Each structure stands twice: as C-alpha cells, then as structure tokens.
C-alpha cells in the first residue's frame, strides 16, 4: 500500500463519517423540535436550518429552540392544576367567608352553624343529610323535614336547618 491510497481511504472514511454526522444532526434537530412544538412548519424549518448551515445552523437552533418540551409543559400544567385544586378545596364559611376546617361544626368567627354532630357516632355531617354516612344512623330533622318546613314558612332551607338544629339542641 502506498501513501496515496492510505490518504484516499482516510478521506473516504472521514467523508462518510461527516455525512453520517450531518444526517444525524438533521434528524436530531427535527426530533428535538417535534418534542418541543406541535407546529410542523417549525419542525421542518429547524431541520432545514441545520441541513443548510450544519454546525452554525445547529448553534442557531440551540439558541432559538423552545426552553421546555411538550411533556415538560404538560407536567408543569398538571402541577399547577393540582396546586389550584388544593387551594380551591379549602372550605369557607357561608356566613362570613373565613376559612374553616372540614370538621368544624360552627364557624369560629361568626358562629354560623356549618355541620351537625351525628347523634350516634358524634362525627361532623352535613346539615342536610338524613343519615350519617359513617354509622348509618338516621338523623332527627333531616333534609326532607327541613324542606317541608321551609316551604310552609317561605324561609330558605339552610336558614331553617340552622334554626331547627338550634331548637333541638336547646331542648
């Protein structure tokens, strides 16, 4: 083997390597942009910039590409939604609007009756419920009775339920 054939083989191998690298950069840029944008025009443009300008095109693409992938944006939106959901799940007093815990029977700020205690197990249950969901005990002065009384007097059902609870506690 002479020197000229060794150089020619080296140049052919180097050319094939550079062509494979160029093609790999184009494919990588297209796939990376596909992971970052749904816009097909932007995906093709990114591949064309890298195809035409090669390394400077790759540098331009790396500078201009979106910061986060679609999967990262979706994950971030899920986290934000979960945070908003946890904020919205906080209960508020219907009387004064202050925050109350789920197991409060009465608002500590304005003394509005929020829930009633089950007469059997003592757990806090909704004022309108006829039966305790925890121990299945029927409750006195359930929702049907409250609505019937409210229809007779023309009063709001919730206000009537509070009055009925106060009168049953006094007795």
pLDDT band at 166 (very low <50, low <70, confident <90, very high): low
Its pTM surpasses 0.75: no
User: Do 125 and 136 contact (CB within 8 A), yes or no?
Assistant: no
Q: What are phi and psi of 93, to 5 degrees?
A: -70, 130
**How far apart are the C-alpha atoms of 20 and 51, rounded to whole Å?**
12
Kindly report, residue by residue over 92-118, the tens digit of the pLDDT.
888 998 888 888 899 999 999 999 999
Per-residue pLDDT tens for 133-150?
Answer: 999 999 876 444 444 333
Alpha helix stretches (DSSP H) within 37-142:
40-64, 70-88
Cα 164 to chain centroid distance, Å, stands at 40
| Distance (Å, whole) CA 115 – CA 113 | 6
**Burial of 117 from C-beta contacts in 10 A (0-12 / 13-18 / 19+):** middle
> What totals of helices (H) and strands (E) does the chain contain, helices first?
5, 4
Encode pLDDT of 41-93 as tens digits.
999 999 999 999 999 999 999 999 999 999 999 999 999 998 888 777 778 88
């Amino acid at each position: 083997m002479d020197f000229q054939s060794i150089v020619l083989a080296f140049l052919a191998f180097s050319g094939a390597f550079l062509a494979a690298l160029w093609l790999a950069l184009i494919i990588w840029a297209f796939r990376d942009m596909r992971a970052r944008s749904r816009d097909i025009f932007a995906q093709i443009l990114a591949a064309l910039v890298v195809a035409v300008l090669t390394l400077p095109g790759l540098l331009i693409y790396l500078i201009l590409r979106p910061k986060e992938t679609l999967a990262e944006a979706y994950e971030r939106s899920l986290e934000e939604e979960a945070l908003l959901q946890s904020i919205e799940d906080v209960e508020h007093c219907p009387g004064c609007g202050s925050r109350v815990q789920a197991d409060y029977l009465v608002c500590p700020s304005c003394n509005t009756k929020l829930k009633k205690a089950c007469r059997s197990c003592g757990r806090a249950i909704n004022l309108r419920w006829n039966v305790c969901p925890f121990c299945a005990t029927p409750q006195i002065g359930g929702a049907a009775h409250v609505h019937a009384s409210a229809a007779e007097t023309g009063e709001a059902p919730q206000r009537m339920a509070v009055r009925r609870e106060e009168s049953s506690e006094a007795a």
